[in-house]
Amino acid sequence: MLKKLRSSEYPILDVFLARRSSRALSPEPLTNEELMALFEAARWAQSSYNNQPWRFIYSKNNSNTWKSFLDLLVDANKEWAKNAYALIIVASKNNFDYNNKPSRTHSFDTGAACQNMALEGAQRGIVVHGMEGFDYERARSLAHIPSDYTIEAMFAVGKLADLDELPESLRVREKPSDRKKLDEFVFENQFKN
């Protein structure tokens, strides 16, 4: 049973209210099935022309590439992400496969795949924490990502740890965040500022 950490204005599936980006991660191993299930969920996201532009390059904690992946992160992320089971670099292909013309929605489609991954993680009790605080160009070089791909984000993945394992400065931030009210971003007929 998922633990809803927030409440919604309208009834929605519990997994949306249970998903969060905790920094309290355990290096406890995930099984290959648990890790691959996250990517399997990503695979089923919608994408323009079914192009599936997303690419995930991962490193497991204690692997020979782990330190290089961890060193991509800014210090604030490195402080807690060092305990993750895996770090994932996310990239998206800029052009369509079928005609090699630019895809305006490659980032949007990849974001949908990442959300699927995060929701699958929440359903399984696995933290899937997205980050923008890392060196994008070093990530490209490290993972040999071609120039016709956009580096989108990195994710730290792992089982939830006890909050007491975090430094006090991070522990105080471990509260479920709220969201804007619907009328702040949903408009009928025209945009409102």
Provide the whole-model pTM.
Answer: 0.90
47 vs 178, more confident: 47
Quick check: is 33 in a domain? Answer: no
Check residues 68 and 180 and name the one with the higher pLDDT.
68
Please check whether residue 64 lies inside any domain of the structure.
yes
* pLDDT value for 171: 66
> How would DSSP label each residue in 118-187?
HHHHHHHTEEEEEE--B-HHHHHHHHT--TTEEEEEEEEEEEEPPGGGS-HHHHTT-S------GGGT--
Can you name the residues that pair with 159 across neighbouring β-strands? 26, 126
pLDDT recorded at residue 152 = 98
Whether residue 4 is contained in a domain is answered as no
In a domain, 83, yes or no: yes
Residue 19 lies in a domain: no
* 6 in a structural domain: no
The span from the CA of 25 to the CA of 162, in Å, is 8
Q: What is the per-residue pLDDT for 59?
A: 98
Average pLDDT of the chain to the nearest whole number: 90
Inside any domain, residue 136:
yes
* % the chain with pLDDT above 90: 67
- Count how many domains the chain has: 1
**CATH code: domain of residue 57:** 3.40.109.10
For 123, the domain range is 45-162
CB 137, CB 105: distance < 8 Å: no
pLDDT per residue as tens digits for the range 15-58:
887 777 777 798 789 999 999 999 999 999 999 999 999 999 99
